[in-house]
Structure 1
Amino acid sequence: MITLVENELPDIQRHGDYAIVAITKHGVELARKLHGSFGHSDLYYMSKFRRGDESERRIQLFEGSVRLLFPALFPAYKGLIIIISLGAVIRMIAPLLQDKKKDPGIVVIDDKGEHVISVLSGHLGGANELTREVAAALGAKPVITTASDVQGTIAVDLFGRRFGWEWESDEKLTPVSASVVNEERVAVVQEAGEPGWWLYDTPLPPNIQAYESVAEALEAKPQAALVVTPRMLTPDEEAILANGVLYRPKVIALGIGCNRGTTAEEIEAVIRETLGELGLSIRSVQAICTIDLKKDEEGLLAVVAKHGWEFAIYTPEQLNRAEIEAPSDTVYKFTGAYGVSEPAAKLYADVDKLALTKKKSGNVTISVGVKRQGWRADSERKA
């Protein structure tokens, strides 16, 4: 049991991604029901409502003011589901708020389980999605007040998030979001990445127009823009970002071969230098690809871990199935494959032509592929 004491951080046991908190008789009934059907959740309620099965169900009981529980829950969970009055919740969590990129999603449920309310971090913290899921589990009404959700339009801070897209900078997220919900003219330029970013069954709102190039969008003089591309914009094109957000889709495959013991620092330096030469963003890298002989190469593993990239491994037989421009008998002698970086990049990106066939730099050989989905070559973009 957790005893809550002023100025002491309670010792909680985290098992799931979400915490459910209740302090009333009816709230506990509701919380137990939700905990039974809602996966990846931990349940906390006051010890006076003990049922005897708490240890078996890994339910954590507490004594003292529930306010003292939140400092431990806030940094530990992705989201909090709280069955307490909305006003009380706001007062208790107010001192803990930091930033919408850090705060967990907060969802409040009334004591009768009729309404599930998204309170905090609706988009980045996932509270809106959590609200819908909890409401569905309870048969309750979801209450979401975020303008983009209510209007059925683009949520700028979530645009492409389910595909792993990253924004280059969050500086313009708020003004661009304002342009979207205020129905100003908004341009969407997509040069790469998954096409299924529109989440509704209805057509795009009339104020949002898709363009095939930044130049075409600039000619239309939009009041805001969302640009999706792995490449660096030219100085002329950067004008689109005066009130725009630049998104980096995960479309780049790096084929890497290296000598045994090559350091992570050397590998990363070659990657950054090469992408810079090609005018591509490192934020759009999805994977490092190589031969299975390198699956335990410490330098490669360190770079992959640092950036959170995928690490794709191919056997010599798989690599030899890809057509390459420069097969090497020497490489075959030592690895059983006629090439490593070039075929690995081609296989992962699923393309016949690479952005960079092969470059040797020090102890590293690198090839660069850009996944074909949604990507148009320079000649096609300019046509």
Structure 2
Amino acid sequence: MSTDNNTAIIAVTAIGKALAASIKEALAADCYVPAKLQSEGFAALQPDFATGMRRLFQQYDALVCIMATGIAVRTLAPVISDKLYDPAVVVMDEKALHAISLLSGHVGGANDLARRLAELTGAAAVITTATDVQQVAALDMIVPSVPGWIPDFRENCKRINGLLAAGKTVCLYEEVPIEIDRRGFTPVTNPHELPEQAEALVWVTHRYRLPELSMHSVKLVPKTRVLGVGCRKRTEPEQMRQAFTEFCIQYDTDPHSFAVMASIDVKKDEPAIKQLAEQWNCPFITYTADQLRVVEGKYPVSEFVRQTVQVGSVALSAADLASGGRVLTSRFAVDGITMAMGERTTRNDGVKA
């Protein structure tokens, strides 16, 4: 992002500009207009209207276009690419009669933005995505809301959403209890005993691998686990990756389960840990020896480790602090690398559970 705000409002008339001014603060948005309407708080689209609007499409997470739908469509057509990456685009008329979710309704958030604009202005939110019209859940909304991970995001979302919108039987097995939109799903208590009419199964789990099933199944992995990790100085990144794989297999945990990785602050620049965290898109947080010592009494300690980093337990203590005290495993050790796993029930250190 090259902007401080994530939303841009674009108006093309004086009346539309007044509407933009009335919603600007509520959306924390930047406002843009053609050069002839430029004034304080309203930047001119440069070097011309079409080019400027296309640039905003590539700079912001959301666009509110106060103009005719045709203008928005024809202007943005050359830069529209993919619903997984394009920004949300909502079109409003200048009298605020309608707020139309035009692009990226689910992943981009245009549907929610249209509803928000309706609340602010009294407009009617116009939403045409099939799952919303049928008032059923949408997998591409569920996954980020958990937050979680599924394999083959695009294809699985398309398939499951299509079945739900068509009123087909899609079973939901929650091995891991989470807050989830269940509209349209058929909850089950045994993934091996499904209704005859079932056409697909969404399995909410942390398991490393699911058993083979006779129908299409999608593994939804909640990112609620934390990894405490310690290692010798200058541990090879490949050793760390192999140890992590062994750890996940031993504890039957999908690597995508981890929301955060944690260690002692002297390891904050350790390449092997940093690369592992980057590989699995996890924030890497660290604690001081003083912080770790507060909880190390719960766990077996190593005097050798204490002499090295002033605390006798790194992996377990880091997992304890990062999880709020919910450690799930004993200490795993291989090749000078130690790991332990915790489960988050709340958001810690500003990182989503």
- How many angstroms does 1:86 deviate by? 0.9
One of 200, 204, 210 as aligned partner of 1:224: 200
One of 164, 169, 179 as aligned partner of 1:180: 164
Distance 1:50 1:347, change over 3 A: closer
One of 38, 47, 60 as aligned partner of 2:27: 38
Q: Please give the alpha-carbon distance, in whole angstroms, between the structure 1 residues aligned to 2:207 and 2:237.
A: 24
* 1:258-306 Cα shifts (integer Å, max 9, x gaps): 1123244432332133223433221111111222332343432343344
Quick one: which amino acid aligns to residue 259 of structure 2?
Q
**Residue 210 of structure 1 corresponds to which residue in structure 2?**
187
One of 257, 272, 277 as aligned partner of 1:284: 257
**Secondary structure, in 3 states, of the residue corresponding to 2:30?**
strand
TM-score (norm 1): 0.80
Structure 1 segment 80-99 matched on structure 2, within 5 A? 80-99=63-82
Q: Please give the alpha-carbon distance, in whole angstroms, between the structure 2 residues aligned to 1:76 and 1:303.
A: 30
Q: Percent identity of the aligned residues?
A: 27
Q: Please give the alpha-carbon distance, in whole angstroms, between the structure 1 residues aligned to 2:96 and 2:283.
A: 42
Bigger shift: residues 17-26 or 140-149:
140-149
**Residue 50 of structure 1 corresponds to which residue in structure 2?**
38
Structure 1 segment 1-383 matched on structure 2, within 5 A? 14-39=3-28, 41-51=29-39, 53=40, 57=41, 59-62=42-45, 66-170=49-153, 171-192=155-176, 195-198=178-181, 205=183, 208-216=185-193, 218=194, 222-237=198-213, 239-240=214-215, 242=216, 244-320=217-293, 321=295, 324=298, 326-350=300-324, 354-355=328-329, 357-371=330-344
Quick one: which amino acid aligns to residue 167 of structure 2?
E
- 1:122 and 1:146 in contact (8 A); partners too: yes
- 1:169 and 1:245 in contact (8 A); partners too: no
Query: Which runs of 5 or more residues in structure 1 are unaligned?
Result: 1-11, 199-203, 374-383
Q: Which runs of 4+ in 1 moved over 6 A?
A: none
TM-score (norm 2): 0.86
Q: Please give the alpha-carbon distance, in whole angstroms, between the structure 1 residues aligned to 2:45 and 2:308.
A: 63
Distance 1:365 1:42, change over 3 A: same
- How many angstroms does 1:256 deviate by? 0.6
- How many angstroms does 1:350 deviate by? 4.8
Q: Please give the alpha-carbon distance, in whole angstroms, between the structure 2 residues aligned to 1:49 and 1:315.
A: 55
- 2:88 and 2:110 in contact (8 A); partners too: yes
Number of corresponding residues? 344
